[in-house]
């Protein structure tokens, strides 16, 4: 869609999930947080028309495993988007830096190499309270927000490929 009245053309995806098949890869570590992120993601998909039977949830042990499984899910060529959800809470050691950094770097690599959107929904917080605040009910839930981005990107990718959104 071009911006009307603007000298600059603007192309923006639309947000709808009807007819889409979406994979959600979710970490079991910090499950009290990641289950809430998953609930947000599933609520977003339902609200935007994605049929429940077109949503596949893949559970992994922790954030470290998210890139590995996301890459394999992309290779299946069954999904229009992949949503990766996890939570890494800073502790007293450098472990946080390694896990959070590699999850971010790995998912970035998968996303750049993928023909479908792969979105990053990994919370990296200092405290459990901060994580729970970002995994609350409603549209402020980060699982919901990144899933919304995934739906928009599916449409934008289609426009970039010359197909209708």
- Each of the 165 residues of the chain gets a pLDDT tens digit; together they read 444 555 677 888 889 899 999 999 999 999 999 999 999 999 999 999 999 999 999 999 999 999 999 999 999 999 999 999 999 999 777 888 889 999 999 999 999 999 999 999 999 999 999 999 999 987 689 999 999 999 999 999 998 988 665
Distances (CA, A) of 26 to 18, 55, 87, 109, 127: 22, 13, 9, 18, 20
Q: Which residues lie closer than 8 Å to 97 by C-beta, 6 or more apart?
A: none
Q: Give the active site residues.
A: 95
pLDDT of residue 137: 87
Domains and CATH numbers, the chain: 23-160 (3.40.50.960)
Tokens (6 digits) for 113 = 């190499």
Q: Which residues lie closer than 8 Å to 101 by C-beta, 6 or more apart?
A: none
């Amino acid at each position: 869609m071009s911006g009307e009245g603007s000298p600059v053309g603007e192309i923006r995806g639309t947000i709808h999930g009807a007819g889409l098949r979406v994979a959600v890869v979710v970490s079991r570590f910090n499950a009290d947080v990641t289950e809430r992120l998953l609930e947000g993601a599933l609520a977003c998909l339902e609200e935007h028309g994605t049929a429940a039977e077109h949503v596949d949830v893949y559970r992994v042990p922790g954030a470290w495993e998210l890139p590995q499984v996301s890459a394999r899910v992309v290779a299946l060529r069954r999904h229009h988007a992949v949503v990766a959800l996890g939570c890494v809470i800073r502790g007293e050691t450098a472990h946080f830096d390694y896990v959070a950094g590699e999850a971010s770097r790995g998912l970035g690599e998968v996303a750049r190499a993928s023909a479908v959107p792969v979105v990053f929904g990994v919370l990296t917080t200092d405290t459990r309270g901060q994580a729970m605040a970002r995994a609350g009910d409603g549209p402020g839930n980060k699982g919901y927000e990144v899933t919304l981005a995934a739906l928009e990107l599916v449409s934008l990718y289609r426009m970039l490929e010359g197909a209708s959104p």
